[in-house]
Chain A
């Protein structure tokens, strides 16, 4: 079951500045954002607009230069590394653009990985993993290593891993970037179903119009600022 959170994500005055020698690059500037539990949000914008940086901040992978980010009711800037790791483990699922999987583990072991860290019993892990792999259409491929799977199949394993422990929030960075349109549609359909059926909050960064078509809410970024935020 998911944790009921009214505000899944709250950003107040969030800025991020990267220093490149003497040059300061403003990746994000004064972002104010509220994302409610159960929303299906797409962040769009051109390369360098700040989509990935914002996802990194919300996922607790990076620290804001200024402002506050609250996820699952907890202020990320107040949390030590170990607590951030726990927050990610218990509340957040990640789908990255590429290199999503641990190469030395099979598809099933990759899906079980997070559950194993959570301390779920082996039998239960196995049942959950097989069930979710079936849902993403990978029955019969459980024992294959990532190198033996196509890009689309790898992304589906990554999605299966992200959703198997039913986190409150899933952050996906360009999840369809390496997929053809057919696989891309299948993946987005699966994520929308999860959003509808379980109420998982999705924040997806993309510059693919096809992906944006699945969004319930579309936030456009440009040069590190939110330029539009509209429900669809």
Chain B
């Protein structure tokens, strides 16, 4: 007879746990479905929220913000022609920075308030003079002209107008409009433009708020010197801007240099709120899930009281019984998680082109979102959801497992023996 002390017999513990899991098919399947749907809910909802936030940020950044903007001091309080940045030639340090690998794209703009007038109506807009080649990949205007032609150079004399503004002005492509603003001497500066292109964006406010012309054309219209209203630049990652921000401030110390979050604190706080909301959402789903898990395992332990007593009588130690229940729980969690991940993948993949939410798009536009929601699945969120369910699921299983391991053999066996 062997006289060594008992070791943990993983194969028997695993075998019993696995087979126990399938003794009550219906209950196990319900629990597996709950885990799978819980994970699916976590991933799906998070993907939607991330998608919304990404769209809001992308929309904010592409609506002329860029990651970092440089203005003359005072411009942000009074965005008029009075506050201009000096020409780039006078800032070799800035020129050198803009040409470095830290900067993905950049552009200079003249940006002033103006009034646009058609034969039928008049609207207040922001006139933006751009370098069309540099705007591509930096702001929305480079990719949004859907009818007519994009600007070809800084001297291009065409005007780009948003689709909605065209409708409001009751005019169309190739017709003339008049733009009116102020020159540096506070005199009226006006010029006639032919509408050369129409841009179409997800946001109505953008389509009605901006009109674009060549940088030098606007400069001539406003009788300006060589300065610009702003320089916008794009970095590699919108969350890691501090190093570039420091370099930019060092390169042009007298200017007002701000990140997109500083310019749009609402958007910055939205990011933090969304991150917190994801965790709260995970916690709520998991809480509901954990009750089911604990209940299922407690029921299983209760039903097997006699068997637990039997294996204890045969010499199985409490730790082995604890592992047996825990492994059963872990197997259930792993299968549920696998099913949840597959379900998430199967339901999110067909929506890679977005979900049409045009019926509520008017409301969503206020938050800077388009009428098409693009779910954004982040590896971090998927891993976090899986880990959360697994780790907290195991933690929730500890109580039933502990209850099973603490059973006194006689109390379990008594049901049988007497």
The CA of A52 and the CA of B417, in the complex, are separated in Å by 7
CB-defined contacts of A103 to chain B, threshold 8 Å? 23, 307
What separation, in Å, do the CA atoms of A88 and B313 have in the docked complex? 7
- Map CB proximity to A onto B309-348 as digits: 1 under 8 Å, 0 otherwise: 0111111111010000000000000000000000000000
Which of B2, B306, B317, B417 is packed against the most chain A CB atoms within 10 Å?
Answer: B417
**What does the 1/0 interface line of A74-95 toward B look like (CB < 8 Å)?**
0000000110011011110010
CB of A70 closer than 8 Å to a CB of B: no
Stretch at the interface among B7-15, B188-196, B221-229, B257-265: B7-15
Q: Nearest A residue to B406 by beta-carbon distance?
A: A81
Q: Are B306's CB and A56's CB within 8 A?
A: no
Give the distance in Å from the alpha carbon of A86 to the alpha carbon of B7 in the complex: 10
Given contacts A56-B413, A85-B315, A97-B416, contact A118 B6 (CB under 8 A): yes
Interface hits, A95-151 → B, CB 8 Å: 96-100, 102-105, 109, 113-120
Q: Separation in Å of the A206 CB from the closest CB of chain B?
A: 13
Contact: B314 with A82, CB < 8 Å? Answer: no
Q: How far is the CA of A99 from the CA of B15 in the complex (A)?
A: 20
Could you tell me the distance in whole angstroms from the C-beta of B301 to the nearest C-beta in chain A? Answer: 15
Task: Tell me, in angstroms, the Cα distance from A119 to B10 when the chains sit together.
Answer: 11
Q: Which residue of B lies closest to A104 (CB)?
A: B19
Within the complex, which residue of A59, A82, A97, A117 is in contact with B9, where a contact is CB–CB below 8 Å?
A: A117
Which listed residue (B310, B315, B418) contacts A117, Cβ 8 A?
B315
- With contacts A81-B318, A96-B416 taken as known, whether A102 is within 8 angstroms of B1 at the C-beta atoms is no
Q: If A90-B2, A102-B311, A103-B307 touch, does A96 touch B417 (CB 8 Å cutoff)?
A: yes
Question: CA–CA, A120 to B3, complex, Å?
Answer: 11
B10 → chain A closest CB, angstroms: 10
Query: Quick one: closest B residue to A62, CB to CB?
Result: B410
CB pair A116 B11 closer than 8 Å? yes
A82–B6 CA distance with the chains assembled, in angstroms: 9
Q: Which of A34-42, A165-173, A188-196, A211-219 contacts B (4 or more CB under 8 A)?
A: A165-173
- Say yes or no: B312 contacts A85, CB within 8 Å: yes
| Docked-complex contact B6 and A85, CB < 8 angstroms | yes
Q: Is the CB of A117 within 8 A of B316?
A: yes
- Structural contact, A104 and B9, CB atoms closer than 8 A: no
Contact with B along A1-32 (1 / 0, CB 8 A): 11100000000000000000000000000000
CB of B315, distance to nearest CB on chain A (Å):
3
Q: How far is the CB of A178 from chain B (nearest CB, A)?
A: 12
On chain A, the residues within 8 Å of B235 by CB distance are none
Query: What is the minimal beta-carbon distance from B12 to any residue of chain A, in angstroms?
Result: 5
Cβ of B182 < 8 Å from any Cβ of A?
A: no
- Structural contact, B418 and A52, CB atoms closer than 8 A: yes
> Chain B contacts of A104 at CB under 8 A?
15-16, 19-20, 23
**Alpha-carbon gap, A114 to B16, bound state (A):** 14
B417 in contact with A102 (CB, 8 Å)? no
Q: Does B409 contact A (CB under 8 A)?
A: yes
B4 at the interface (CB under 8 A from A): yes
Report the Cα distance A97→B316, complex, angstroms.
Answer: 20
The answer to whether B1 touches A2, judged by C-beta atoms less than 8 angstroms apart, is yes
Looking across the interface, which residue of chain B has its beta carbon closest to that of A94?
B313
- B:16-35 near A, CB below 8 Å: 16, 19-20, 23
Interchain CB contact under 8 A, A102 and B416: no
- Give Cα A86–Cα B320 distance, bound, in whole angstroms: 13
B residues near A97, Cβ cutoff 8 Å: 416-417
Q: Shortest beta-carbon distance, A208 to chain B, in Å?
A: 16
- By a CB distance below 8 angstroms, the chain A residues around B23 are 103-104
Closest to A91 in B: B1
In the bound complex, do residue A82 and residue B317 qualify as a contact, i.e. CB atoms below 8 Å apart?
yes
Q: Tell me whether B359 is interfacial, beta carbon within 8 Å.
A: no
Interface residues of B in 289-316 (CB under 8 A from A): 306-307, 310-316
| A165-B316 in contact (CB<8A) | no
Q: How far is the CA of A119 from the CA of B11 in the complex (A)?
A: 11
Shortest distance in angstroms between B314's beta carbon and chain A's nearest beta carbon? Answer: 6
Q: Is the CB of A3 within 8 A of B1?
A: yes
B5 at the interface (CB under 8 A from A): yes
> Which B residues lie within 8 Å of A59 (CB)?
313
Contact of B409 among A3, A52, A61, A114 (CB under 8 A): A61
Bound-state Cα–Cα, A190 to B320, Å: 32
The minimal Cβ–Cβ distance linking A161 to chain B, given in whole angstroms, is 8
Chain A nearest Cβ from B152, distance in angstroms: 77
Contacts of B4 in A (CB 8 A): 118-119
- Neighbouring B residues of A81 by C-beta, 8 Å: 318
Please name all residues of chain B whose beta carbon is closer than 8 Å to the beta carbon of A117 when the two chains form the complex.
Answer: 6, 9, 12, 314-316, 320
Interface contact A165-B9, CB-CB below 8 Å: no
Instruction: Choose one: B2, B313, B320; the contact of A61 (CB below 8 Å).
Output: B313
Q: What chain B residues lie within 8 Å of A100 (beta carbons)?
A: 310
B381-418 CB contacts (< 8 Å) to partner A: 409-410, 413, 416-418
A161 CA / B314 CA spacing, docked (Å) = 10
Task: List residues of B whose CB falls within 8 A of some A CB.
Answer: 1-7, 9, 11-12, 15-16, 19-20, 23, 306-307, 310-318, 320, 409-410, 413, 416-418
5 shortest interchain CB distances as A-B pairs:
A89-B315, A104-B19, A62-B410, A118-B2, A88-B315
